[in-house]
Structure 1
Amino acid sequence: MTSDHQPPAFAASVPQPAGTPERLRRQIEFIIEVDQLKEVLRRSPLLAADRRENDAEHSWHLALMTLVLAEYADEPVDPARALAMVVLHDLVEIYAGDTFLYDSAGAADQEERERRAADRLFAILPDDQRDHFRALWDEFEARVSPEARFAKAMDRLQPLLLNYGNRGGTWRTPGVTDADVLARKSVIGDSSADLWDYARTLIRTGTDNGWLPRATPPAPPVHPVP
């Protein structure tokens, strides 16, 4: 039986050999399509080169961190399941683009953009893998399991390490303060008290060294003159 499945334009630019089984063809199309992740630039600067990292590099780093740091999770986690989430979670940015963590305007429609992208991207796969990978992606986004919470913690810790190592990095974005960083990184503490303590030490040290602006303290209350 001939399938009516049509590969997206990028995957279609690499034709599959005649006679390739339908299931394998769709899997290879997906693998080709996600090669575009290497072209999605993030804001975070690399430590080893004078350029910004791309999404594929970010995902690799998260995968390695998941394997190395799983022992610090407050709840037992299945590293393989968490690993699958960190590898899959940013694939949607091929279509939705990377949304900077401190971009409030971009965040307004981020969830909608990324869900539409997930629908489109995972549909390339055979139905069983489409459903499995989409469920993992949804689980990560909702942080409804220990693995999802730990994967999200890795996603927030990794750029923190890059910014600290670069003596500022995206911390120097106009308007970003230590209070903003603490607020957006606090999900690390949902999974690991030890790693959250470490993250707060990095933020505090960066602030003390002048790499991250300190939030303006609130003005003291004005008391009427009796």
Structure 2
Amino acid sequence: MSHLGSSELPGILEFLRQAEKLKITYRSGYTSDGRTESVAEHTWRLCLVALALEKHFPDVDMGRVIRICIIHDLGEALHGDIPAPEQEGSPEKSENERNDFRELIASLSESHKEEMLALWDEYENASTPEAKTAKALDKLETLLQHNQGQNPDSFDYAFNLDYGKKYTKGHPVIKAIRKHLARETKEKARGMNNK
């Protein structure tokens, strides 16, 4: 069992205080009651998605997927979320988020910083089956929220139909969920057009 030294504790608590900002950092999606979704809420349900689908990914370490999911948007605590439709025009997004992430974890021990940065890089580069799964589930959770949310009349459902496709076409379970969510998106868009 590891002993938590008094010199390490303040750094961990500072990191947790900074990470709390994800509770008040908002995304472009809406909850089912019409409230803007926070990054923390997205991350929580993303981890729940991974847990719920765990048995369908026997060759993937879902514990690692969940760890990756927990940290994948932490950098947004400092400068916020860039809505997905705006990310294509922002090639520096990854570099900026990595710098923000490094700043966020600066108070941790060197070994802890290295471990967390390695997880973040793994996700960003989609360099392992676990990172690819986390990225796919991240896109699917966003689509699920867009379909479930009480969105404004101006919401662009057509965007959902292409969002994250390059990450969601490998695994059969991912493809099945994507297909189902696309069907829901089309129904939701039709409903908006009939208003």
Cα deviation for residue 70 of structure 1 reads 2.3
The aligned counterpart of 2:6 is 21
The alpha-carbon deviation at position 106 of structure 1 amounts to: 5.2
Q: Tell me, what secondary structure is at the counterpart of 1:38?
A: helix
* Partner-residue secondary structure (3-state), 2:28: strand
How far does residue 195 in structure 1 lie from its aligned partner after superposition?
2.4
| Partner in structure 1 of residue 168 of structure 2 | 188
C-alpha displacement of 1:25: 1.4
Structure 1 segment 23-172 matched on structure 2, within 5 A: 23-47=8-32, 49-73=33-57, 76-104=59-87, 107-166=90-149, 169=151, 172=154
Contact 1:171/1:212 (CA < 8 Å) preserved in 2? Answer: no
Figure out how many residues of one structure are paired with residues of the other and give that number: 188
CA contact (8 A) 2:28 2:83 kept: yes
Matched position secondary structure for 2:73: coil
| CA distance in structure 2 between the aligned counterparts of 1:172 and 1:211, rounded to whole angstroms | 13
> What are the Cα deviations for residues 147-201 of structure 1, in whole angstroms up to 9, with x where unaligned?
111111111111211222247x38943xx463x43432211223x2222233223
What is the TM-score with the length of structure 2 in the denominator? 0.85
| 5+ long unaligned stretches in structure 2 | none
Pairwise CA distance, 1:118: 1.7
Deviation at 1:203, TM superposition (A): 1.6
Post-superposition CA distance 1:92-113 (Å, at most 9, x none): 0012310111114653321121
For the 8 Å contact 2:66–2:134, the answer to whether it is kept is yes
CA contact (8 A) 1:38 1:55 kept: yes
What is the Cα-based RMSD across aligned positions, in Å?
2.5
Change (3 A) 1:30 1:51: same
Could you tell me how far apart the structure 1 residues matched to 2:160 and 2:118 are? 29
SS, match of residue 125 in structure 1: coil
The CA distance in 1 between the partners of 2:67 and 2:153, in whole Å, is 29
Taking the aligned partners of 1:183 and 1:212, their CA distance within structure 2 comes to 19
Matched position secondary structure for 1:103: helix
Runs of 4+ in 1 over 6 A off after TM superposition: none
Q: Return closer, same or farther for 1:127/1:212 CA change in 2, 3 Å cut-off.
A: farther
- Unaligned runs of at least 5 residues, structure 1: 1-19, 215-226
* 1:43 Cα offset (Å): 1.2
Seen in structure 2, the aligned counterparts of structure 1 residues 56 and 183 have a Cα distance that, compared at 3 Å, is: same
Identity %: 27
- Classify 1:116/1:201 alpha carbon distance in 2 versus 1 (closer, same or farther; 3 Å): same
Which of 1 and 2 has greater Rg?
1
Of structures 1 and 2, the one scoring higher in RCO (CA 8 A, sep 6+) is 2
- How many Å apart are 1:208 and its aligned residue? 4.7
Q: What is the identity, as a one-letter code, of the residue corresponding to 2:136?
A: A
